[in-house]
Amino acid sequence: MQRQDAALLARAVELATRGPAADANPRVGAVVLASDGTVAGEGWHEGAGTPHAEVMALRASGERARGGTAYVSLEPCAHQGRTPPCVDALRTAGVARVVYAAPDANPDARGGAARLSDLGVEVSGPVPGTGAEELNEHWAFSVRHERPFVTWKVGATLDGRVAAADGTSRWITGAASRADVHRRRASAGAILVGTGTVLADDPALTVRDSADRPADRQPVRVVMGERDVPAAARVRGPGDLWHARTRDPAVVLKTLHDRQIRHLWLEGGPVVAAAFLSAGLVDEVLVYLAPTLLGAGPSLVASLGVPTLAAAHHLELLDVERLDQDVRLRLRPRPVEGVR
């Protein structure tokens, strides 16, 4: 790939980051290069139901798109959804060449590259190493597996306690860890806790910025369990709340997928975490460890029905980061034999 191609594809990926981190659709950016070698237009997808990145870039380009090259972070779609196929827009605009970074994971939408080629447009891609696939990791997982990507987050003491014997838990981890949690939590479509956590901790389940102000976009709040949620519970604050009166994680994930939630942030408590882990429905684990010892109190996960070490749930360590006095571990569960 030529240096100019790489630079413009990187620009398309950069533009894609301006789209919503949590959305039914992937984040996509596009740049149109006119035939004279100058940038004619740029665009990005602003969320479900809005024009796609290619359309926005073509609108900005006008007639200068004819004979030019479109650089797109994701393979142009080939299906009629809420908006028409992007391949048709590119062809109508007279674009001569399309370069795309990542293939489309959606079986209903992919195939745009082949269709463009059939229409006489020169196509290059996919191009690995651009960061485009990582940008839409949760969306692609959800499309392929027909359920949200599940991140289990837990804050614990060095001896694995999530609260003291009297139930107090604020705050086990420090301010740096809490800021990191809010930054990461903001990319989720929904946050889930069990009724036990609601009754014990009364969490708000909101995303807040560095000044402790509520973010403009808030994930859907989900409470899982059969017990009632108190009328005065903080989780009943403004925004979207769903009380899932079930103990079955698969039922919850199916409903969330039907609601086009692509990433679930699982906050616990220990019983709910055990249910998801036992069902093989946790895809990423974030453990924030504080240099504190309690010696008693609830552990970070309830019984997993493991009778012996040979039957233990094993995790793969992906990375470790120090956050002031705390340590964040990011792990991936290894498949449990017999669980899909």
- For helices 3-16 and 53-61, give the axis angle rounded to 10 degrees: 120
Tell me: pLDDT of 336 over 60. no
Lowest mean per-residue pLDDT among 12-26, 199-213, 314-328: 199-213
Q: Can you give the pLDDT at residue 1?
A: 55
Cβ(258)–Cβ(239) under 8 Å?
A: no
Tell me: pLDDT of 318 over 90. yes
Q: Which residues are catalytic, by number? A: 54
Helix (H, G, I), strand (E, B) or coil at 242: strand
Per-residue model confidence as pLDDT tens digits over 103-114? 998 887 788 999
Q: Can you give the pLDDT at residue 49?
A: 87
- Mean pLDDT across 1-9: 85
Query: Residue 215's pLDDT band (boundaries 50, 70, 90)?
Result: confident
Q: What pTM value is reported for the model?
A: 0.90
Q: Mean pLDDT across the chain, nearest whole number?
A: 92
Q: Can you give the pLDDT at residue 142?
A: 95
- For helices 270-278 and 249-258, give the axis angle rounded to 10 degrees: 80
Q: Can you give the pLDDT at residue 340?
A: 44
User: CA dist 314 to 20, 285, 290, Å?
Assistant: 34, 12, 22
Per-residue model confidence as pLDDT tens digits over 60-81? 999 999 999 999 999 999 877 7
Query: Residue 339's pLDDT band (boundaries 50, 70, 90)?
Result: very low
Per-residue model confidence as pLDDT tens digits over 80-139? 777 788 999 999 999 999 999 999 988 877 889 999 999 999 999 899 899 999 999 999
- Mean pLDDT across 36-56: 95
Cβ(156)–Cβ(190) under 8 Å?
A: no
| Rounded percentage of the chain residues whose pLDDT exceeds 70 | 98
Helix (H, G, I), strand (E, B) or coil at 208: strand
